Homo-oligomer: A and B are copies of this chain.
Amino acid sequence: MLDPLALVSVAVMLLVAKLGGGLFEKFRQPAVLGELTGGILLGALSLFGVAWVDGLRGDAVVAALAEIGVIILLFEVGLESNAGEMLAVGWSSLLVSTLGVAATFALGWGASALFLHGAHALVHVFVAAMLCSTSVGITARVLRDIGRLQTREARIILGAAVIDDVMGLLILAVVAGAIRAAAAGQTLALADVGLIALKAVAFLAGALLAGQYVVPHLFRGAGRLESRGALVALAVAFCFLLAWAASLVGLAPIIGAFAAGLVLDEVHFESFARRGEQTLTALLAPVSALLVPVFFVLTGLRVDLRAFGRVGVIGFALLLTAAAVAGKLACSLGVTGRGTNRLAVGLGMIPRGEVSLIFAGLGATLALPTQGGAEAPVVNAATFGAVVIMVVVTTLVTPPALKWALRREPRGETMKSERGTMN
Interface, chain A (partner B; CB < 8 A): 1-2, 4-8, 10-12, 14-15, 17-19, 21-22, 25-26, 31, 34, 60-61, 63-64, 67-68, 71, 222, 224-230, 232-234, 236-238, 240-241, 243-244, 247-248, 253, 283-290, 293, 365
Interface contact A31-B243, CB-CB below 8 Å: no
Give the residue of B14, B61, B224 whose beta carbon is less than 8 angstroms from that of A237.
Answer: B14
Is A244 touching B4 in the complex (CB atoms < 8 A)? Answer: yes
Given known A-B contacts A31-B228, A64-B2, A64-B61, A18 and B253 have beta carbons under 8 A apart? no
Contacts of A286 in B (CB 8 A): 229, 232, 283-284, 286-287
Residues of B within 8 Å of A1, CB to CB, are 67, 365
Main secondary structure of the interface of A (DSSP, over half): helix
Question: Closest approach, in angstroms, between the C-beta of A264 and any C-beta of chain B?
Answer: 14
Contact: A233 with B8, CB < 8 Å? no
Are the C-beta atoms of B228 and A289 separated by less than 8 Å?
yes
**Do A227 and B31 touch (CB < 8 A)?**
yes
Residue of B nearest to A247 (CB): B4
Residue of B nearest to A20 (CB): B227
Give the residue of B4, B18, B224, B284 whose beta carbon is less than 8 angstroms from that of A225: B18
Residue of B nearest to A280 (CB): B286
Nearest chain B CB to A276's CB is how many angstroms away? 12
Which B residues are CB-close (under 8 A) to A228? 21, 31, 285, 289
